[in-house]
């Protein structure tokens, strides 16, 4: 696995650091604006008998965030640095990240609805077949062992409840 | 001598079978976490925190601190054998550690790194033992203005000492403060920034942020590189250990320097990672072996490891005495204290003697036991590393999810964890620092309260932060730290202007 294959090396760069810096700075400025507006409505000044009002601290905090993110934005828009020109991510790298991020998100959402034990079995199973290309007879034992071990550790040993769904209810938990 | 007797009392507290057993469990778990890329001390402790709610406080902190020591030890095994730093602070260890492993000297490298870690930690603990009570005593007189100025210094230090763009440092920090202020306002009890949703009523818990930023974010960064483990095997036996120990004394200058750098960066909020880089850089510059660094020098392993471990240990000093953690992992431990209902700060030394001294005693013992355990179990860990990442990665993610959920049984926390994971990934890739952000989430509420109390006390007069010598000098120092990037730029310009002038004068 340690050999970098040729098509990975030639994989095109999706976006540059400069573009991503601009996107993130803009996103931070949007967050800052939302927080500022919300805190200002709450009262960002001096309140009687309270001192600085509830919105005071978040307001100024997000004001600073707005200014510094603005500075990062300006830096990246007007000055071209060697660092900024460097690629942020290559296509095959982005695919790798998405192939983890999307299943992770599905796993988390599934956990909320059908319980974490079934979801983790599916998640590990998916990972091993898709990324590891393991045959089913190697995948199945892990899919079974992981939830059972964690169930014993958490629900029985430490008495810490984890999200459970219809299947666990059917088993009597 | 007071500190010495208190320490003896601490050993008395520590030496119960239950505390010792949990310490060993913590150490083993910590080595495992430190060793695996993608999970580290900070989020390992975050994941295990909910399991400690039912334990006695002292046992809980001993176990969690042991995870921290274990993680500090564990990071270097994967760095040396696989060239994959298990923890950010072992990045500098790969520079010389992996070349050594390639030459078949992995055993020596691991022994040297573990032993120098141990020495660094030991001296930092001695400093902690004798300095902490003094600092705590001093801090007993602190009021809200003093506390706020210390918080200010903590956060401004990130700007002054960080190597990242000061704008990005401040943006990340302020985002942390913004996250911290969502939910219930501690002073008025009113709601804020919840945008009418019920999910945000309780705010963002910092442990979710830690698990997301450090755990999930790290996994995403790791997976992008495709992860190919190409391991070297390590032969470790008493003979190798003994031979390496005989060589170490000649590096005493590097060890002393590393320890001092570590203690300095641990007490001021730099943390273990910058300390290890700084110590490696200094050793490279001042050692006579310097030019050979990077080709597999034992000294190049000794330098970062001493500093990382002594920084990690001394980060507890401001955490215990002032309630200000010197590193993200110490920040999570601080969060633990708050959850267990303990108020970190100088009063801890007065009211919770068993807790504080039990913890400090456990650092001494934990490092000795840790050294023995790690040196004797290296092959075991190396074999775990041979389990492919396609099995380890989903298990790490599952464990992170469990840790997030058990914190307050809130399903939404799982979604927040993924959200923080994406933020962590982007920030890491774009060189936004995560440490000040985590610290801001942890300390946001306390910093805000001390500011508002100080303001109420002074009727809105901002000059209260200059009202006496102590608070004035801390505030002034904070300002120097905040504007340090600007100041150092100006000094640099002045010097450059003078140098040509001096040259022409000759």
Could B226 and A96 be called an inter-chain contact, meaning their C-beta atoms sit closer than 8 Å? Answer: yes
Could B181 and A96 be called an inter-chain contact, meaning their C-beta atoms sit closer than 8 Å? Answer: no
CB atoms within 10 A of CB A97: 18
For the cut 70, the answer to whether the pLDDT of residue A1 exceeds it is no
Residue B416 is predicted with a pLDDT of 92
Nearest to B402 among A112, A116, A123 (CB): A116
For the cut 80, the answer to whether the pLDDT of residue B358 exceeds it is yes
For the cut 80, the answer to whether the pLDDT of residue B237 exceeds it is no
Side-chain-side CA neighbours of A74 within 13 Å: the count stands at 7
Distance to chain A for B221, nearest Cα, Å: 8
> Which residues are B183's β-sheet partners?
B192
Is the pTM value of this prediction over 0.95? no
- Counted across chains A and B, CB pairs separated by less than 8 A come out at 178
Please give the Cα distance from B483 to B494 (Å, whole number): 17
For the cut 60, the answer to whether the pLDDT of residue A7 exceeds it is no
Residue B178 is predicted with a pLDDT of 92
- Torsion angle, alpha carbons of B298, B300, B301, B306, to 10: 120
For the cut 50, the answer to whether the pLDDT of residue B339 exceeds it is yes
Nearest to A64 among B174, B193, B402 (CB): B174
Cβ of residue B397 closer than 8 Å to a chain A Cβ: yes
Q: How confident is the model at residue A6 (pLDDT cuts 50, 70, 90)?
A: very low
Cβ of residue B417 closer than 8 Å to a chain A Cβ: yes
Residue B269 is predicted with a pLDDT of 65
Nearest to B178 among A35, A42, A101 (CB): A35
**Rg of chain B, C-alpha, whole Å:** 23
Could A58 and B401 be called an inter-chain contact, meaning their C-beta atoms sit closer than 8 Å? Answer: no
Average the pLDDT over B284-293 and give the result: 81
Cβ of residue B409 closer than 8 Å to a chain A Cβ: yes
CA angle B131-B132-B137, nearest 5°?
A: 105
Could B406 and A154 be called an inter-chain contact, meaning their C-beta atoms sit closer than 8 Å? Answer: yes
Structure ipTM: 0.90
Residue B270 is predicted with a pLDDT of 63
Query: Per mean pLDDT, which range of A95-109, B54-68, B462-476 is the poorest?
Result: B462-476
Cβ of residue B197 closer than 8 Å to a chain A Cβ: no
B324 vs A98, which has greater pLDDT? Answer: A98
Distance to chain B for A78, nearest Cα, Å: 16
Residue A3 is predicted with a pLDDT of 40
A153 vs A8, which has greater pLDDT? Answer: A153
Residues of B in contact with A124 (CB under 8 A): 391, 394-395, 398
Residue A123 is predicted with a pLDDT of 93
Please give the Cα distance from B326 to B336 (Å, whole number): 15
Residues 45-104 of chain B with CB under 8 A from chain A are 50-51
> Which residues are A13's β-sheet partners?
A90
8 A C-beta contact, residue A139 and residue A129: yes
**How does pLDDT run across A19-51, given as a tens digit for each residue?**
899 999 999 999 999 999 988 888 777 877 777
Cβ of residue B164 closer than 8 Å to a chain A Cβ: no
Could A55 and B51 be called an inter-chain contact, meaning their C-beta atoms sit closer than 8 Å? Answer: no
Residue A27 is predicted with a pLDDT of 95
Most confident of A5-9, A88-92, A165-169, B411-415: B411-415
Query: Per mean pLDDT, which range of B5-9, B57-61, B324-328 is the poorest?
Result: B324-328
Percentage of chain A exceeding pLDDT 90:
32
Please give the Cα distance from B348 to B240 (Å, whole number): 44
Residue B504 is predicted with a pLDDT of 46
**How does pLDDT run across B221-231, given as a tens digit for each residue?**
878 876 555 56
CA angle B53-B366-B268, nearest 5°?
A: 80
Q: Which SS3 state, helix, strand or coil, does residue A89 take?
A: strand
Distance to chain B for A65, nearest Cα, Å: 5
Percentage of chain B exceeding pLDDT 70:
94
Please state whether beta strands A46-47 and A51-52 pair in parallel, antiparallel, or not at all (unpaired). antiparallel
Residue A24 is predicted with a pLDDT of 94
**How does pLDDT run across B372-396, given as a tens digit for each residue?**
888 888 777 777 767 777 788 888 8
8 A C-beta contact, residue A83 and residue B206: no
Q: How confident is the model at residue A64 (pLDDT cuts 50, 70, 90)?
A: very high
Residue B227 is predicted with a pLDDT of 58
For the cut 50, the answer to whether the pLDDT of residue A2 exceeds it is no
For the cut 70, the answer to whether the pLDDT of residue B498 exceeds it is no
Nearest residue of A to residue B461, measured between CA atoms: A51
For the cut 80, the answer to whether the pLDDT of residue B9 exceeds it is yes
Closest by CA position to B86, among listed B210, B222, B212, B220: B222
Report the mean per-residue pLDDT for chain B. 82
Please state whether beta strands A87-90 and A13-16 pair in parallel, antiparallel, or not at all (unpaired). antiparallel
């Amino acid at each position: 696995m340690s050999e970098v294959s040729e098509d990975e090396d030639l994989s095109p760069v999706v976006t540059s650091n400069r573009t991503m810096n601009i996107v993130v700075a803009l996103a931070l400025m949007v967050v800052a604006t939302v927080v500022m507006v919300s805190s200002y409505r709450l009262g960002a000044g001096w309140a009687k008998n309270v001192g600085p009002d509830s919105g005071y601290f978040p307001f100024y905090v997000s004001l600073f965030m707005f200014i510094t993110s603005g500075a990062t934005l300006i830096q990246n828009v007007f000055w071209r640095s060697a660092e900024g020109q460097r690629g942020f991510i290559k296509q095959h790298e982005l695919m790798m990240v998405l192939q983890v991020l999307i299943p992770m998100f599905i796993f988390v959402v599934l956990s909320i609805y059908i319980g974490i034990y079934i979801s983790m079995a599916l998640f590990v199973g998916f990972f091993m077949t898709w990324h590891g290309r393991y045959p089913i007879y190697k995948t199945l034992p892990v899919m079974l062992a992981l939830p059972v071990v964690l169930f014993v550790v958490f629900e029985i040993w430490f008495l810490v409840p984890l999200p459970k769904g219809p299947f666990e209810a059917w088993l009597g938990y | 001598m007071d500190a010495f007797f208190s320490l003896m009392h601490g050993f008395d507290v520590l030496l119960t079978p239950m505390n010792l057993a949990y310490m060993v469990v913590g150490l083993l778990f910590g080595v495992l976490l430190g060793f695996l890329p993608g999970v580290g001390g900070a989020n390992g402790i975050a994941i295990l925190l909910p399991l400690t709610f039912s334990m006695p406080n002292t046992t809980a902190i001993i176990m969690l601190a042991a995870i921290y020591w274990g993680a500090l030890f564990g990071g270097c095994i994967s760095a040396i054998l696989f060239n994959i730093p298990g923890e950010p602070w072992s990045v500098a260890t790969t520079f010389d550690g992996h070349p050594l492993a390639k030459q078949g000297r992995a055993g020596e490298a691991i022994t040297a790194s573990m032993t120098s870690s141990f020495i660094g930690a030991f001296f930092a603990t001695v400093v902690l033992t004798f300095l902490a009570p003094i600092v705590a005593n001093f801090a007993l007189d602190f009021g809200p203005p003093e506390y706020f100025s210390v918080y200010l210094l903590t956060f401004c230090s990130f700007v002054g000492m960080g190597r990242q763009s000061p704008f990005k440092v401040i943006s990340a920090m302020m985002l942390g403060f913004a996250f911290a202020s969502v939910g219930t306002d501690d002073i008025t009890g009113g709601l804020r920034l919840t945008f009418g949703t019920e999910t945000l009523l309780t705010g963002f818990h910092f442990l979710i942020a830690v698990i997301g930023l450090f755990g999930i974010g790290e996994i995403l960064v790791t997976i992008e590189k495709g992860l190919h483990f190409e391991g070297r095997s390590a032969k470790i036996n008493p003979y190798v250990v003994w031979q390496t120990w005989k060589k170490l004394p000649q590096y005493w200058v590097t060890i002393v320097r590393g320890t001092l750098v570590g203690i300095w960066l641990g007490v001021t909020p730099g943390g273990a990672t910058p300390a290890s880089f700084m110590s490696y850089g200094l050793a490279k510059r001042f050692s006579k072996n310097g030019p050979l660094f990077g080709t597999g020098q034992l000294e190049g392993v000794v330098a970062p490891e001493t500093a990382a471990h002594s920084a990690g240990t001394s980060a507890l000093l401001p955490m215990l005495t002032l309630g200000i953690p010197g590193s993200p992992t110490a920040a999570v431990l601080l969060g633990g204290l708050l959850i267990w209902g303990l108020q970190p700060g100088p009063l801890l030394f007065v009211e919770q003697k068993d807790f504080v001294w039990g913890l400090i005693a456990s650092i001494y013992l934990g490092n000795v036991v840790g050294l023995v355990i790690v040196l004797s179990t290296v092959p075991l860990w190396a074999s775990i590393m041979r389990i492919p990442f396609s099995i380890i990665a989903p298990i790490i993610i599952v464990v992170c999810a469990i840790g997030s959920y058990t914190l307050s049984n809130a399903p939404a926390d799982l979604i927040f964890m993924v959200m923080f994971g994406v933020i962590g990934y982007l920030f890491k890739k774009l060189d936004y620092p995560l440490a000040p952000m985590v610290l801001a989430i942890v300390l946001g509420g306390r910093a805000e309260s001390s500011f508002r109390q100080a303001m109420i006390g002074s009727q809105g007069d901002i000059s209260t932060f200059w009202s006496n010598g102590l608070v004035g000098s801390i505030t002034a120092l904070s300002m120097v730290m905040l504007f340090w990037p600007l100041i150092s730029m100006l000094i640099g310009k002045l010097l450059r202007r003078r140098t040509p002038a001096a040259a022409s004068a000759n």
